[in-house]
Structures are given as structure tokens and as C-alpha cells.
Chains A and B, each alone.
Chain A
């Protein structure tokens, strides 16, 4: 199956700093990518939809100025958590659907810890 990578796999940062997470589709082009957040022992919740060549679409309650998304190319989307706070500590997962396909491929996730 198709491969999606995420970098970094884990990151620890101080409160108030910004953190960038990359999501790459390695062997296919993705005009759309999704960013999910998963708190411990909870389900995946969609944060935003990243669209190549246009603005991201954010879910209700997600601050777009805090979670900046840039879909720089057909294989790369980045999520930047600005001015991170301890409550932003979570597991962030991206996924990308293949063109015309039913399946979405998930990255391995990024564990963010904000001290």
C-alpha cells in the first residue's frame, strides 16, 4: 500500500514555542490531507483538511491561527502549532487518500509534549 511519513515522530518543547510537523506522501500525490488529534485513550478527531493550492478547512473549535496548515506541494503538508501550551500536548496523525481510491493512508503520528 501507499506510504505516508510524518516527522518528527515525537517532540518535546517549552511552552510558548512553535512546533512544525511534516506529513509526506512518499509514493503518491495527495491533493488533500487530513490532520487528526488523538488524546490519550480517546479517538481520532479531525482538526483540519489540508488542500494543495488553497486554504485549509478547519473543524469547529479548532483555532486556525494556532494550528497553521500549509499544503506546500502534492506530497507535503505541514502543521505548525504556534505558541504551544501544555494543553496542546497530544498525538497528531495525518492521513491522505489516494486519488479515486477508497482508502486513506495514515502517517505513524507525532507525539507532542509541551512542558
Chain B
């Protein structure tokens, strides 16, 4: 079975600074998706970024980028130029390739942004 581990329950960053959230996962499959979701206080899940495992290039979305290390099964999220609106719970998630399968979530990291 696949598992997702987020080892940082809480993180804090100064506004305009950069922060990296860690995620590791375990799977025996070679093709899969990885995601980072943001859950603000409203609790609406918002997709931040995704990575297809077959792609070697790290995904980027504006201020958000990932460091995907397939061999190490690591998938960290870097937030640059942090903004107050980035404060939220961040969940790393795994999904099997080629199916409309469910997401497997890590326990989450609560990110605080200090003004």
C-alpha cells in the first residue's frame, strides 16, 4: 500500500521569505501523480501544484515549485516570496496513475506566515 509522510507538523516563515515543506512517500509503482494541496481556514481544498512521476523536470506554478526526487521518493514544496495568504494547512498527496483513483494524503503541515 502507498503511504505519504509529512514530518513537519508546523512551519513558520517570515513574509517575503522562502520556505520548504517536506514530503516523502512509499510506493512500488513506477508511474503515479503527486500533488500539494492547500487547505485554508475555509477548509476548501485547493490544488497548488502537481507532478507526474515520469517527468524529470520539477513542476513550477508561479511562486510554488517542487523538488521531486523519484529515487529518494521525496517531493518537497518550496514557496517563494511568502505572502500572508499562504498561511494554511498543506497536504502532500499521492494518486495512482491511469485511473480515477482516490488521493492518499499525508498528515499535513500547518504553515504560518509572520508579517
Contact = CB atoms under 8 A, between A and B. Distances in A.
B30 interface: no
Interface residues of B, number: 18
B33 to A, nearest CB: 6
A106 interface: yes
B104 to A, nearest CB: 8
Instruction: Report whether over half of chain B's contact residues are helix, strand or loop; otherwise say mixed.
Output: loop
Contact of B33 (A45, A46, A102): A102
Interface of B: 33, 42-45, 47, 50, 52, 91, 95, 100, 102-108
Contacts of B44: 106, 108-109
Nearest to A32: B100
Nearest to B46: A106
A91 B43 CA distance: 9
